[in-house]
Amino acid sequence: MENQPEIVQQALALAQQAQDIALGWLTSPAAWSQFALLAVAFVLAVVLTRRFSPVITRLLTPPEEQTHILARTRRFLLQFVPLLLPLLAYALTGIGESVVRSIFDSGAVIAFGKRLFLFLAARILVRDIVQDGFLKLLGRYVLVPMAALYALGLLDPAMAYLNTLQVTLGNITISLMALLRGVVAGGVLFWLGRWSNDQSATFIKSQEDMRPATRELALKTAEIAIFGAAFLLLMNIMGINLSALAVLGGAIGVGVGLGLQQIASNFVSGIILLLEGQATVGDYVELDGGEAGTIVKMTARAAILETWDGKWIVVPNEDFITTRVVNYSDSGSANRYEAPFSVSYDTDINKVPAIIEEAVAALPFVLSDPDGPDCELRGFGDSGVDFAVEFWVNGIDDGKNKFTPKVMFAVWNALKAHDIEIPYPHRVVEIRGSGGLPFGQSEG
């Protein structure tokens, strides 16, 4: 034994201790009574679970058509029904433990049973309930081994050993135990933060009375508050003094001043856009640089424009502040367009406006408010008289919803129905030759 490594000696000592405990339990009437109580508690937990599990499942299952927050909460709690058996066994074992300790002044066996039931609960949680990939990995390799060590009574020695292993980074000293605790707590906190953020985002988006820009600002504020609180809690759990991060904060400030100022500018510009609401999700905008499309998403750094042909353009938020932006939508307001056309010089042009305005007004998408169709004389061209009809529509004349071609069809049909000629270019060609006759005449 003396020639073996220290870790082997410790393992053998623990094995000898476990053997002595097991022999003591096998020869003790108090231990046998505790084994009997454990068996009774487990059987009773099985019976109660079979009786109450269908009732709890029925109470927690909302109708499929319900999507409000109470229904989502019930569906969330429904996932934990498989934990009913080990938790009931744990509670019943706790009642039995108090009885055994009052009679025999000993409860080591039943305390071991309680820890064993917690281990089963942890295993069911990881295997059947947790669906997130990161949390499942964390539970499989951290939570379940810790629950097993706790069941065997080895968790405290293991934690004490991990606390002796430390890593020093400048003024910050972190033990391996603190790092492991931070990984576990961080995984749980940020999973809860993501879930809370999804729930708050769903709630805020359902508030149709709020302006789109206000909704976006509320979403960003809730996200920053939730994950900021999760970060502060994580630092506190890991035992890291936040004042020790002052150097890191100063380095980040220098980085912002030197290399990240453009990102910071875009972030501040995004907040200004959300506060002012001059451009928000759903608006069709056109920038000085030629970018044009419908805003489908606004992030902390940029806005995503979707063009009429389905392409996405990422435009930095700063461009909306420092350049001229034409907003055609402003959350669904009407827009005016015009369709040019020409008629022959032989036409009585006094009749044209009434004919065209009546034909365009009959189109279902043309609005009468703020103004109906207006046909105007624009000029006298080389081949005909130039007109244009102006019309208002509720939307954007883009690739998915082209209004102008339909108006042009209506203009064509109206002119044809009234025998009005649409001119085409004419050219007069004169050919002169020496001694010849003018073109078009023959000798007689």
- pLDDT tens digits, one per residue of 204-231: 777 777 766 667 777 777 877 887 788 7
- Residue 315: phi, psi to the nearest 5? -115, 120
> Does the pLDDT at position 108 exceed 80?
no
- Angle among Cα 52, 58, 59 to the nearest 5 degrees reads 90
- 391, pLDDT greater than 70: yes
DSSP structure string for 313-377: EEEEHHHHHHS-EEES-TTT--EEEEEEEEE-TTS-TTSHHHHHHHHHHTSTTB--SS---EEEE
Mean pLDDT of the region 319-323: 82
- Cis check: omega of the bond before 370, within 30 degrees of 0: yes
Furthest C-alpha separation in the chain: 147
8-42 burial string, b = 16+ CB within 10 Å, else e?
A: eeeeeeeeeeeeeeeeebeeeebbebbeebbeebb
**pLDDT confidence bin for 25, thresholds 50/70/90:** low
**Residue 49 is encoded by which pair of tokens?**
């679970």
pLDDT in tens, 148-202: 888 777 777 777 777 777 777 666 677 777 777 777 777 777 777 787 878 787 7
Average pLDDT score over residue span 26-47: 72
| Cα separation of the two ends of the chain | 141
Amino acid of residue 48: L
Q: Mean pLDDT: which of 55-59, 166-170, 267-271, 362-366 is highest?
A: 362-366
- Domains of the chain with CATH codes: 6-164 (no CATH), 190-241 (no CATH), 262-327 (2.30.30.60), 335-417 (3.30.70.100)
Q: What is the pLDDT of residue 18?
A: 60
How confident is the model at residue 85, as a pLDDT? Answer: 86
pLDDT at 386 over 90: yes
Looking at every residue in the chain, the average pLDDT score rounds to: 77
Mean pLDDT of 34-43: 77
Rounded mean pLDDT, 342-357:
91
- Is the pLDDT reported for residue 331 higher than 70? no
Query: Is the CB of residue 122 less than 8 Å from the CB of residue 136?
Result: no
What pLDDT does residue 245 have?
61
Question: Angle of helix 29-60 relative to helix 84-104, nearest 10 degrees?
Answer: 150
